[in-house]
Amino acid sequence: MKNKLSRFAVPYEIWMAIFVVAPIVIMVVYAFTSQNGGFTLENFIKMGGYTEVFLRSFKMALVATAVCLLIGYPVSYYMSREGKGFQRIAMVLIMLPMWMNFLLRTYSWITILDNNGLLNQLFQRIGLITLYNNITGRELTFFPMLNTQGAVVLGMVYNYLPFMILPIYSVIIKLDHSLLEAARDLGANSATVFRKVILPLSLPGVLSGITMVFVPSVSTFAISQMLGGGTELLLGDLIERQFLGGAYNPQLGAAISLVMMVIVVVCMLVMNRFGEGEEQAVML
């Protein structure tokens, strides 16, 4: 039976077709096109030279996702156990940075991590740098923090942490309290209740959190440019250069994007298989 309301979806369908489906088709076409317009696989062959960038991007995105999970899960868990008032305040604090412009948020980290930035000034004041020099016998005037892989991962974690916390929190908060009581009733102490009931039942939230952190992390270019100083080239940077930079080559850019997309989709499929049976919350 055709749903009568389905015609209200028409504008969205058009939108999807123009701004989602069409660009993907264009990207695929570009990826298999040479600069003078013929069919070619050269773009993909050329990509072999960038294996290192691929590996680095996925490694850093994985690290950022892992850190987000390590911070995000305990935060979500303890938040869900606190009172309603605390939960509301915590939620606002977590969301607050997201209401600020993404670039502004990331720029502000530059002033914090800079060689003469807030952190280094603080370390200087409390004598940490002198102490470090005395111990190691070096002559540092600051700790180099900006333009490192660590700074890029920090930027990713800072920007995407809410996307880890929110889905996990919303799954845990909806857990039926009687399930926890049932587990205790059947002889489980707090640790066992967590391991055998809360953790498995919150997996859907964890999976969607991982998805929502990993995907933007692996494709980011703004964070790596601002906090990595362009020294650590990531996939996002590489793609951007093919379109905007001096290395103008949209065909290659499209090919890299396509390969990245395929890898991400495959990762997600594998992960969702892993969490099979728990699929209801993955689409949060």
Partner 1 sequence: MSKELIRLHDLCMAYDDELVLDHINLYINDSEFLTLLGPSGCGKTTTLRIIGGFTTPTSGDVTFDGVRINDVPPHKRQINTVFQKYALFPHLDVFENVAFGLRIAKVPAKEIEERVMEMLEVVSLKGFERRRVDQLSGGQQQRVAIARALVNRPKVLLLDEPLGALDLRLRKDMQIELKRIQQQMGITFIYVTHDQEEALTMSDTVVVMDKGRIQQIGTPEDIYNEPKNAFVADFIGESNILNGTMVRDGVVRMYRKEFPCVDRGFAPNEPVDVVIRPEDIDIVPVEQGQLVGTVTNVTFKGMQYDIIVDLGGFKWLIQTTDHSPEGTQVGVKIDPDGFHIMKKSEYSGLFGDYSSYSEEYEELADVSALEEEESGDEE
Please, what is the minimum distance in Å from the beta carbon of residue 228 to partner 1? 41
126: contact with partner 1 by CB under 8 A = no
Q: Which residues contact 176 (CB under 8 A, 6 or more apart)?
A: none
Please, what is the minimum distance in Å from the beta carbon of residue 4 to partner 1? 25
Nearer to partner 1, 35 or 192 (CB): 192
Residue type, 177: H
| Coil, strand or helix at 39 | strand
Nearer to partner 1, 129 or 183 (CB): 183
Please, what is the minimum distance in Å from the beta carbon of residue 30 to partner 1? 44
184: contact with partner 1 by CB under 8 A = yes
Inter-residue contact 206 to 73 (CB < 8 Å): yes
282: contact with partner 1 by CB under 8 A = no
Q: Count of CB atoms within 10 A of residue 221's CB? A: 19
Nearer to partner 1, 200 or 245 (CB): 200
Q: Measured between alpha carbons, how far is 109 from 120 in angstroms, rounded to an integer?
A: 12
Nearer to partner 1, 36 or 189 (CB): 189
Q: Tell the burial category of 77 from Cβ atoms under 10 Å away from its Cβ (0-12, 13-18, 19+).
A: middle
Q: Measured between alpha carbons, how far is 249 from 131 in angstroms, rounded to an integer?
A: 50
277: contact with partner 1 by CB under 8 A = yes
Count residues binding partner 1 (CB under 8 A).
Answer: 19
36: contact with partner 1 by CB under 8 A = no
Helix (H) or strand (E) holding 239: helix 235-243
Site string for partner 1, 185-214 (x = CB under 8 A): xxxxx--x---xx--xx-------------
Structure tokens at 130: 């002198």
Please, what is the minimum distance in Å from the beta carbon of residue 277 to partner 1? 7
Please, what is the minimum distance in Å from the beta carbon of residue 201 to partner 1? 6
181: contact with partner 1 by CB under 8 A = yes
Q: Tell the burial category of 93 from Cβ atoms under 10 Å away from its Cβ (0-12, 13-18, 19+).
A: exposed
Inter-residue contact 165 to 94 (CB < 8 Å): yes
Nearest residue to 225 via CA among 237, 216, 213: 237
Please, what is the minimum distance in Å from the beta carbon of residue 151 to partner 1? 39
Nearer to partner 1, 28 or 188 (CB): 188
81: contact with partner 1 by CB under 8 A = no
Which residues lie near partner 1 (CB under 8 A)?
A: 176, 178-179, 181-189, 192, 196-197, 200-201, 277-278
